Structure 1
């Protein structure tokens, strides 16, 4: 049986969060001229940002690389240990090299730094000790000094890696704003999954998968029921001869009509349709359709191509695509 210490789990968790929050808060004092010059350098870089690290800092480096790549700044990860065994070959003349290290004194870092300097590349250090070998060798310093690790022994990288991660995010977000990186740009790099679909999938991409149910104002109730049933969307548009929208009939409208004590033989579509249906243009993003459905608490919208009726987008379409 594994023996465990009797600790206050909630108190330990809260202390960890407080220490790491304090480490992040301290970064505000490190946003200085070096930070600004570093961001400007990266924004003007015609090559890639090659980011290296060792241990936990290497994992942080990979995350920052991923963030930069997905937000319009080309970046590569280079493990500090592998760099001296051939991976230095990935560095090109116009690249900027960024090395991440808490101590700035790791043996692998001490070997790597002079090699990068010999190549003539600009070196940026994300480092937690300003008097370290890495800090003194770098052209620019992004200070991530922390007063205490969240680890109870003040040893395991916790607060320090959090600070490194946040500093990398600060750089990436600044670069996004400087480059005018928009949601449409983001979609180009994230075409897969629900996130990508929220950014690029249009209403017409979904509505074209269905037939467009439609009747005329003079259509009989039987014709309305057949149209709604055959298209299986629970709704039909009411249009004129030029497909201009005149109204909408839902299966709910039919049920409410049948609840009334009236002779349905002479009832026409015009008698039960709603004249102000909710619509959306075919070229709008599908996510906008979802927001409109939520706003009006409905499950479908009539899709328009300008002034012309074009089809239906249903809540089930959005669910199927994983947008919800």
Structure 2
């Protein structure tokens, strides 16, 4: 067997093993899961998530997902907790402890301290009969038959299962809170994702030039307007209402069609009824409209009047593409 075929076979086996384990989690979601979600939803504190080793890494990701979807959460490392960080937990907080075995030494020390503080404890564990499983108020079962590691040792399938349980928990809470795309944008203002959720057409078009000509503007002046405004287009406007558009393409087609252009005006070469978009529309909607019509710019309207131009290059610059 070649090196390439071996690699491909191993990769596929890992994915199949983890995929089967994730599918099996569906059968493990029960009323206790629902009770845990409801308790978090009705609690007045934060969600404190703790774990040791690879489970601690998974805990940090679940914390990030909860925070980004409207549920305040914080990470507390199980080892640090028993060496001074237990004060992280406040009286109204809910604690989630993640451990595949549920029997690690740090967990056995930490769990009674959490219980003594009066905080509700939710376990994400593959072993419901473990110390953690027996002590927790709610147990979210993340059982997996085996790890993807051929020695059944390296946390692979088990950590994937923990992550999926955390995602299920987060999305349930998101749904219960009625968390919308606008809410999501508040928590993700940076980067391309944030811009897709909050950047509007007028945020971009307002900083662009606003090329426009009248219907009777001579072609030579139209060409100058397009060239000076550097957007490859000029709106043909009358009483600030869009009648048509002249693009670089219209200019090229005109030169191919006419030997003498001295008597031509914008109205003679414009494309009537051009594609346009409202200033309040989302910038990502402008991108979709451009892609659907194979064009690189859109005229912008506000209250039925010409308000500017948004160009494909603007969207590229903003990272929306």
TM-score normalised over the length of structure 1:
0.97
1:82 to 58, 76, 80: 80
Q: Residue by residue, what CA displacement relative to the aligned partner does 1:27-80 show, whole Å, maximum 9, x if unpaired?
A: 001110000011111111211000000000000000000000001000000000
Q: Report what 1:252 is aligned to.
A: 249
Q: Report what 2:313 is aligned to.
A: 316
Q: Report what 1:218 is aligned to.
A: 216
Q: Report what 1:12 is aligned to.
A: 10
CA distance in 2, matches of 1:14, 1:251: 51
Q: Report what 1:103 is aligned to.
A: 101
TM-score normalised over the length of structure 2:
0.97
**Deviation larger for 15-24 or 308-317:** 15-24
Q: Report what 1:290 is aligned to.
A: 287
Q: Which runs of 5+ in 1 are unaligned?
A: none
Q: Residue by residue, what CA displacement relative to the aligned partner does 1:70-124 show, whole Å, maximum 9, x if unpaired?
A: 0100000000000011111111111000000000000000000000000000000
Q: Report what 2:240 is aligned to.
A: 243
Structure 1 position 267 matched with structure 2 position 261 = no
Q: Which runs of 5+ in 2 are unaligned?
A: none
Structure 1 position 164 matched with structure 2 position 162 = yes
Cα deviation, residue 7, structure 1:
8.6
1:122-271 to structure 2, matched below 5 A, reads 122-240=120-238, 242-271=239-268
1:64-75 to structure 2, matched below 5 A, reads 64-75=62-73
SS of the equivalent of 1:266 reads coil
CA distance in 2, matches of 1:32, 1:83: 30
Cα deviation, residue 9, structure 1:
2.0
CA distance in 1, matches of 2:247, 2:280: 24
SS of the equivalent of 1:304 reads strand
CA distance in 1, matches of 2:148, 2:69: 30
SS of the equivalent of 1:319 reads helix
Q: Report what 2:29 is aligned to.
A: 31
Structure 1 position 276 matched with structure 2 position 279 = no
Q: Residue by residue, what CA displacement relative to the aligned partner does 1:251-293 show, whole Å, maximum 9, x if unpaired?
A: 1101111111342111111111111100000111100000000
Structure 1 position 48 matched with structure 2 position 46 = yes
- Find runs of 4+ consecutive structure 1 residues off by over 3 angstroms: none
